[in-house]
Amino acid sequence: MDLKRRVDTARALADEAASLALDHFQRRAELRVEKKGLQDLVSRADREVEALIRDRLAQAFPNDALLGEEGGGGTAEGTWVVDPIDGTTNFLRGLPHWGVSIGFVLRGRVELGVIHAPALGERYVATRGGGATLNGERIRVSDTSALPEALLGLGSSRRTPLPPYTERLAALLQAGVEYRRLGSATMHFAAVARGSLDGYFEAHLSAWDACAGLLLVEEAGGRTNDFLAGDGLREGNAALVAGPGLYPALAAALGVG
Ligand code: IPD
Ligand code: CA
């Protein structure tokens, strides 16, 4: 398994995909928006960017599988996990927090993750054991350890029932937390990895929302839950990440392992 070639390919491909996505973003008034479900949108931009990534990876690594948000797919010993535009609603409304997310999972472990958010000028790269970078500079999670000092990312979607979200939010606010909701799982992970947020929780993410971001946080010194446990790759899972000092208190407050 040539991981080095996969890292180089993913980095170059994320740049190419991000530039195609940015081109659509700048001309987004021309896009026809379709509804996949309640508050769940898609356009030609998502599909074209995913198709580009699929074609390039199939050419370069014909034996790898690929799971993508728009086109689905299967899993194999080595599986690419791709969200062409994570934060589609932000993208379609002209908000800059969205990004291309490309992860690679080998035998149940994320080995590389690249996230490119071109409207913010941010490219994140993580390789297992090789650290995490933002635009080539090493990044690190925050050292916050107390909930009353924490700024968290909290997300939710219509895939999970509302009451647990509102109840958890109320409990965390009572505990003294402040929070942001950036509208993109990927950008939440990136913000935790560079220490702008102290932690992030969402009750359900799909693997394409999460794989690259989870490794980014781990390689930036953070802790993550065991997202891929069970059938996380195909079914998704809850996602919890935080700096090591905050993780235990946050996991306890949320009632999550
Ligand atoms: C969604 C975003 C959102 C999160 C959802 C995701 P999409 O992905 O990451 O922030 O709350 O769980 O599905 O639809 O923008 O690619
Ligand atoms: Ca997504």
Report how far residue 221's alpha carbon sits from residue 129's, in angstroms, rounded to the nearest whole number: 11
In the three-class reduction of DSSP (H, G, I as helix; E, B as strand; rest coil), residue 75 is classed as coil
Contact in structure between 202 and 239 (CB atoms under 8 Å): yes
Residues above pLDDT 90, as percent of the chain:
88
Q: How does residue 87 score in pLDDT terms, banded at 50, 70 and 90?
A: very high
Q: Is the pLDDT of residue 41 over 80?
A: no
User: Which residues, chain by chain, have CB under 5 Å from ion ligand 2?
Assistant: 83, 86, 209
CA 125 to ligand 2 centroid distance, Å: 18
Report how far residue 86's alpha carbon sits from residue 68's, in angstroms, rounded to the nearest whole number: 11
Higher confidence at residue 30 or residue 152? 152
Q: Which of 96-131 are b and which e, b meaning 16 or more Cβ less than 10 Å from the residue's Cβ? A: bbbbbbbbbbbeeebbbbbbbbbbeebbbbbbbeee
Report how far residue 201's alpha carbon sits from residue 256's, in angstroms, rounded to the nearest whole number: 10
What is the helix (H) or strand (E) element at residue 25, kind and residue range? Answer: helix 3-26
Q: What's the pLDDT at 167?
A: 93
What is the helix (H) or strand (E) element at residue 113, kind and residue range? Answer: strand 109-117
Q: What is the mean pLDDT of residues 16-20?
A: 98
CA 185 to ligand 1 centroid distance, Å: 6
Q: How does residue 81 score in pLDDT terms, banded at 50, 70 and 90?
A: very high
Report how far residue 181's alpha carbon sits from residue 188's, in angstroms, rounded to the nearest whole number: 8
- In ligand 1, the atom with minimum distance to the C-alpha of 85 is 16
CA 1 to ligand 1 centroid distance, Å: 31
Q: What's the pLDDT at 256?
A: 86
Report how far residue 108's alpha carbon sits from residue 125's, in angstroms, rounded to the nearest whole number: 19
Ligand 1: lining residues by beta carbon, under 6 Å? 69, 83, 86-89, 155, 157, 183-185, 202, 205, 209
